[in-house]
Structure 1
Amino acid sequence: MIYSNLSGGLGNQLFQYVFSQSLSKIRGDKVVYITDSYNYYERNIEIFKIFNIEKAILIDKNKSRYKFVTLNFIVRSALIRLNNIFNFFPFIFTDEFKKIDQICTYQDDVYLHGYWQDLEFINIYDPDVINSLVVNKNIADRNKYNADEVSRNSSVGVHIRRGDFFSNKNINSYAVCDEKYYVEAINILITQQSTIYVFSDDINFVKNNFSLLMKFNVKFINISSVDDFYVMSMCSNLIISNSSYSWWAARLGPNSNKKIICPKNWSLDKNISNISLDGWIKI
């Protein structure tokens, strides 16, 4: 059995889901998801809302073979930090543990904790797992107009992530994509017929502070997290931020010929890996 902790927003959930499902193909195990982190943080479990995938959530933690799994999220997280130093529990694997072969061959149930955003983990992705991520029909139907608009060859989608990336806690790590980055990227993709479709968690900030961007023919898409994600994935060309959310929108889009531009540095912290894929334009 693989116990996989789900946490964070939709992009993080996708990294956790696809890694654990791909790992299950290698190990021949089933996966169940532990979701009690959402009792403590202001996030929602969105992956099961947007995609037609099996909702395998561990409801009764007492059915787990490991007493560790029955503990609440805060206690588990504290023990995991200690375990990274002392290795009390060999069945716990975190994304700081980069020896993927040991996770694949461990001869018992495993507990996965982390975001798994590293090319070493991405490289084991099973194509069948990726192909299983089919958007629910009701989401596709209600966004048909916008999806058709952004899928035109001349359109350029732009994801501008603000929010906690620019908080005092994170600004020295994640404040990578400034207005200069977006304008340089747009100038690579734009044609005379282009419309720029902007997706952001802070539309007002973009309107008031990105004056160079606003000189282009700009339209804003701001519906909901799951709706915006689907529309973004349909863009014929896409400029992403250093965000797991737009990384997956770029990865899952149906247009195999689209151009994707991403930041050459995923973080200002050199210890954080760049997870841009081959074929993406890095600036």
Structure 2
Amino acid sequence: MILIRLKGGLGNQMFQYAYASILAKKCNLPLKIDTQFFSLSKDMVGVTQREFELTVFKNRYQIATLNEINSFTELSFYNKIKRKLGFNYPKKHNEGSRLYQDEDYKLKAPVYVNGYFQSYKYFLGYEEFVKKIFHFSTDDLDAKNISLLSRIEEANTISIHVRRGDYVTDLNINNTHGLCDIEYYMASIDVLTKDNANSTLVFFSDDSDWVKKTFSHLSNPKIFVNHNTGSHSWKDMLLMSKCSHNIIANSSFSWWAAWLNSNSEKKVVAPKQWFADQSRNTFDLIPKEWIQI
């Protein structure tokens, strides 16, 4: 058995589940998930409360029982003897680095894995497998989003994700993540509109009033998307992935929207500095063909 501890928002959960799904496939073993974080996060200081969000995809998830989790975290006397004698036993593997590690795919089951696994390199050779896992069904869209999807697909569109929310209001989160500034977005827009000055800019943000005020001077056709909130937020990821090109924030949410974008001619712009806390930065997160600013 492969067991993965899920944490964070939808984008983070997707990184973790994709990595663990590939590991389970390699080992030809069932995958189970530990969802305890989502109940525990309610009482965690400095942690944004999250919910298990992967149900937006039509996968069959096996939730680990407390006994199954404890079999890794609290070894039985029998498994302690196996460990002492050098035999295989239920192990707990914590991600050792924010960089891609070959060792993360050489683990011997049964194993309980914990980490973020935020690197495109984990998916190399398994791109179609991962895209199948994270396939959005447009059948679940309401009339407003169906109409918006048609507008997005009929024009040359650039999705622009401006994440503010807890990146602004929570000092600890701001010190860790930081914000993509206006200069980043303007430079990114300049790069992607160079060959098509009339591209439609599709803004996605949790602070639409700020975005409208900040970018109102731009002459391009503009669409501001702010109606998909709460349990409907995943619809923004779907819509972003259907745009011609993407400008992402330092957010795993829009990273996935860009990665899932199936346009063979897509251009993606990403921030060169992902974290304000530079000790957390990774060089393995952004695919080489994306433009970094």
Q: After TM superposition, is the score higher than 0.5?
A: yes
Classify 1:186/1:102 alpha carbon distance in 2 versus 1 (closer, same or farther; 3 Å).
closer
**Which amino acid is 1:115 matched to?**
Y
Aligned-residue offset at 1:148:
2.0
My pick for the range that moved more, 213-222 or 125-134, is 125-134
- 1:186 and 2:189 are equivalent in the alignment: yes
Aligned to 1:238: 246
Deviations 1:230-267 (A, max 9, x none): 11111111110111000000011221211111112222
- 1:250 and 2:255 are equivalent in the alignment: no
CA distance in 1, matches of 2:175, 2:133: 36
2:202 match: secondary structure:
strand
Aligned to 1:44: 51
Aligned-residue offset at 1:30:
1.2
Let me know the Cα RMSD of the aligned residues: 2.5
Query: How many aligned positions are there?
Result: 260
2:223 match: secondary structure:
strand
Whether the 8 Å contact between 1:18 and 1:130 is mirrored in structure 2 is no
CA distance in 2, matches of 1:176, 1:52: 33
CA distance in 1, matches of 2:174, 2:264: 33
Q: How does 1:30-41 map to 2 (within 5 A)?
A: 30-41=30-41
Aligned-residue offset at 1:65:
6.9
Q: How does 1:99-248 map to 2 (within 5 A)?
A: 100-123=101-124, 125=126, 127-140=128-141, 142=143, 143-166=145-168, 167-190=170-193, 191-208=196-213, 210=214, 213-216=215-218, 217-222=221-226, 223-224=228-229, 225-248=233-256
Classify 1:90/1:265 alpha carbon distance in 2 versus 1 (closer, same or farther; 3 Å).
farther
TM (normalized to structure 2)?
A: 0.79
Q: How does 1:43-122 map to 2 (within 5 A)?
A: 43-49=50-56, 51-58=57-64, 60-63=65-68, 66=71, 68=73, 91-97=91-97, 100-122=101-123
TM (normalized to structure 1)?
A: 0.82
Aligned to 2:13: 13
1:215 match: secondary structure:
coil
CA distance in 2, matches of 1:197, 1:99: 32
Task: Give ranges in structure 1 of 5+ residues lacking alignment.
Answer: 71-88
What percent identity do the matched residue pairs reach? Answer: 31
Classify 1:108/1:131 alpha carbon distance in 2 versus 1 (closer, same or farther; 3 Å).
closer
